[in-house]
Amino acid sequence: MTVGGPGVLLLAGVLSAAALAAQNPPPAPLRPAASDSAGPTRADSVALPDSLSPDSFRPELPRLGPPPGPLARGGRGVFDQDALRILGALTLGELLAHVPGVFLVRVGWFGQPEAVAYAGQGASSVEIFWDGFALDPLGEDSAGHDLSRFALGLVNRVEVEVLASQLRVYLFSDAQPVRRPRTETSFATGDAETNTYRVRYLNRWAPGTGLGIGVNWFGTEGPVTSPGDVADLTAWLKGTWTPSDQAGVEYQVLRYSLERDSLFPLAGGTALPGVEIRRTDAFVRGHVGTRPDGLGLRFDALLGGSSYRDSAGARERSLAQGAAFASYRTGRWSAELVTRFRDARTPFDIRLRGAWAPFRALAVAAYATRRTHLGDRHSLEAGGTAELRPLAAFAFRSSLRWRDAVAAPADPADAPQRTTDWSVGAGLEFARARLDLSLERHGEFVAPVSGTFSRFLPRGTSAAGTTVTGTFDLRPTAYVSVGGWYRHPLGRSSAAFEPPHHSRVWLRFRSRFLPTFRRGVFDVVGQVGAEGWSRGVAGATGAGAEIALRGETVFDWLLEVRLVGAVLFWTLRNSQPARYALVPGFEMPRALQRFGVRWEFTN
């Protein structure tokens, strides 16, 4: 019998039946958004007028993120400040695990490497941008990202462009919109001597200048199953000048330093080597537009670079980057042209994308990309999404991605591969419930293994496959919500980390007391989440033999209390009685907890 996915799906059915019996009207759901809004509001709270003078507000630079304009629902997932807080995710990998179909691959406790696998794409499952600046993988992970390295406490919004076989992740830094300083201090501790400290300061002044400073430090000794000291320091600096609603410039520096001891498997064998990494990403961005609301004609430009140094592995690399964005946006349609220049690996790429909603029931979006790589190689890609909503509560959706592209631009021997991926689906959406079903097909694509795990999973496995994915979201009362997703490949799947049954569900209680006060003054969140998967494939040996992935069901817990600007939280990871391993030899610890406080205030 398989362990994991079916059991969690049964739990989801029980919770769903109980939730349907309640009759109170729900708040607006937190879900993947179809617009550029800042996120849904709650129906059980009333916002009082702000006491600040209108003259205190200062314009901010518009975001550079997913394609502008109308998109099919589900084509863009939005995690705003509220969602980042109540999901309890410490790393970017934990956050992306809430996207249906994502499998989070990790070893040991926090501080150790993480990667996500999506639709059999291995290390090429994710692309990451920071305020429009492409964060290219460097160093040992030149094929993919170590997602444990991104400090979520230094961003205020994450948007995910969900393609048929890839996630494009856009991280947005924070900014202070008013002439008033804002300060945040945060401290957390827990098992295995795990400590986190964070300090941020943001301010704006009358001439339009602004400043943002943030420091995030994480350290742990590691649990018994994966002992090893880890120290991770991330620093962020942002300076802005916006003299008007239609023009501005900003400068940002993002730097992290990581020192991690070697990690040895419990049963002996190949160790995960220690590293001493220093990486810096810096860029300057300029913006000018014809309208203050972001519509009309817009021009943005970026110029910067990245440097990477691993003293333990004797690696040192640097990469320069420039980008130009030209777009035009209206309420019904939008178009954008993006060009990006680099001095290595992918010297030039150009992308054209647009969206159109000719009437309320239809929204279509499309893009086309051409990239040049070292070694006289080229990548071509095109795709799009569409949504038809004949009834207010019912919609059809589809997406397509065609590629003739290389999977590892840093490898001169990697040749282009041609493949087509698509998905079709339908959804029902009511005030208290949402249900989506989709059928996805990804073609054969030999994707690279993340460099961090290549010693233990020498080869990724890739095969054409068809999967069925279902998602649901039930909100029977203003205080209780149940949600989750289930993914099942049709037929035998040999793609790495795409087991026959994979599901995630959560039950959340949330109460915002005293609703006549300013929204969010008092808030209590209690949440239990379960993720399960059946036996599958983790990868392949150098000789091509499959490496087994054992089925498991794991539970996580979260408790959070908010009092004005202070948030007290407690999390418990992997509360199941048995340990398990995703990468051979490296067991995940069980029943480890963290707790702490975050306090944000204005001076």
According to the model, what pLDDT value does residue 103 have?
A: 94
pLDDT of res. 5: 43
Confidence of residue 13 (pLDDT cuts 50, 70, 90): very low
d(CA 529, CA 531): 7
Q: How do beta strands 546-549 and 522-533 pair?
A: unpaired
Q: How far apart, in whole angstroms, are the C-alpha atoms of residue 185 and residue 180?
A: 17
Pairing of strands 167-173, 126-130: parallel
Question: Residue 201's closest CA among 233, 154, 242?
Answer: 154
Strand 230-244 versus strand 209-220 pairing type: antiparallel
- By the 8 A CB rule, do 40 and 28 touch? yes
Q: Where residue 572 falls among pLDDT bands split at 50, 70, 90?
A: very high
* pLDDT value of residue 32: 37
Q: Which of 44-58, 259-273, 565-579, 585-599 has the lowest mean pLDDT?
A: 44-58
Kindly report which listed range (332-336, 525-529, 599-603) carries the lowest average pLDDT score: 599-603
How does pLDDT run across 93-132, given as a tens digit for each residue? 999 999 999 999 998 889 999 999 998 888 889 999 999 9
The model's pTM is 0.89
Q: Is the pLDDT of residue 19 over 50?
A: no
pLDDT band at 214 (very low <50, low <70, confident <90, very high): very high
- Residue 563: count of CB within 10 angstroms of its CB: 12
- Mean of all residue pLDDT scores within the chain: 85
Counting Cα atoms < 13 Å in the Cβ hemisphere of 149 gives 24
**pLDDT value of residue 142:** 73
| CATH at residue 550 | 2.40.170.20
42 versus 280: the higher-pLDDT residue is 280
Q: Does pLDDT of 576 surpass 80?
A: no
pLDDT above 60 (res 441): yes
Q: Which two tokens stand for residue 319?
A: 């990469």
| DSSP 3-state of 55 | helix
What does the pLDDT read at residue 17? Answer: 34
What's the first-to-final CA gap in the chain, in angstroms?
59
CA distance 67 to 377: 26
User: Which of the pair, 539 or 250, is modelled with greater confidence?
Assistant: 250
**Predicted confidence (pLDDT) at residue 313 exceeds the cutoff of 70:** no
The count of other CB atoms within 10 Å of the CB of residue 530 is 22
**Beta-bridge partners for 69:** none
The closest of 82, 107, 84 to 95, measured between CA atoms, is: 84
Residue 208 clears pLDDT 60, i.e. is over it: yes
- For residue 41, pLDDT over 90 is answered with no
The pLDDT tens digits of the residues spanning 412-435 come to 888 999 999 999 999 999 999 999
Residue type, 570: W
Q: pLDDT at position 520, please?
A: 60
Per-residue model confidence (pLDDT) at position 12? 40
Q: Cα dist. 411→135, 257, 307, 369, 444 in Å?
A: 18, 26, 19, 20, 20
Q: Answer whether residue 43 shows pLDDT above 60.
A: no
Instruction: Please work out, in degrees rounded to the nearest 5, the angle formed at the alpha carbon of residue 439 by the alpha carbons of 438 and 445.
Output: 130
Asked whether the predicted pLDDT for residue 81 surpasses 80, the reply is: yes
pLDDT, residue 219, reads 95
Lowest-confidence range among 11-20, 361-370, 372-381, 569-578? 11-20
pLDDT bin (cut points 50, 70, 90) of residue 239 is very high
User: Residues 558-587: what's their mean pLDDT?
Assistant: 88
The single residue listed with the structure tokens 């849904």 is 40
Lowest mean pLDDT segment, chosen from 198-202, 211-215, 262-266 = 262-266
What pLDDT, on a 0 to 100 scale, did the predictor assign at position 379?
Answer: 95
Residue 266 confidence (pLDDT): 77
**For residue 5, how far is the Cα from the chain centroid?**
23
Question: Other C-beta atoms within 10 Å of 41: how many?
Answer: 13
More confident residue, 139 or 563: 563
**DSSP per-residue letters across 13-54:** HHHHHHHHT--SPPPPP----SSS-S----TT--PPPP-S-G
Residue 6 has pLDDT above 50, yes or no: no
Whose tokens are 């599901």? That residue is 503
DSSP 351-376: EEEEEEEEETTEEEEEEEEEEEETTT
Q: What was the pLDDT predicted at 171?
A: 96
Between CA 146 and CA 150 the distance in angstroms is: 8
Least confidently predicted of 200-214, 247-261, 264-278, 318-332: 264-278
Query: Sign of the C-alpha dihedral, residues 432, 517, 528, 532?
Result: positive
Instruction: Round to whole Å and give the CA distance between 494 and 270.
Output: 25
Give burial (CB, 10 Å; 0-12/13-18/19+) of 569.
Answer: buried
Report residue 311's pLDDT band, with 50, 70 and 90 as the boundaries: confident
Q: What is the pLDDT of residues 133-159, one digit of tens each?
A: 999 988 776 778 889 989 899 999 999
Contact status, residue 480 vs residue 458, Cβ threshold 8 Å: no
Q: Which domain holds residue 11?
A: 5-602
Mean pLDDT (whole number) for 534-558: 90
Q: How many domains are contained in the chain?
A: 1
Least confident piece of the model among 253-262, 459-468, 551-560: 459-468
Predicted confidence (pLDDT) at residue 235 exceeds the cutoff of 90: yes
Percent of the chain with pLDDT over 90: 54
Residue 450 DSSP symbol: P
For residue 374, pLDDT beyond 90: no
Residue 521 pLDDT > 90: no
Query: What pLDDT is stored for residue 29 in this prediction?
Result: 31
Label residue 436 by pLDDT band (50, 70, 90): very high
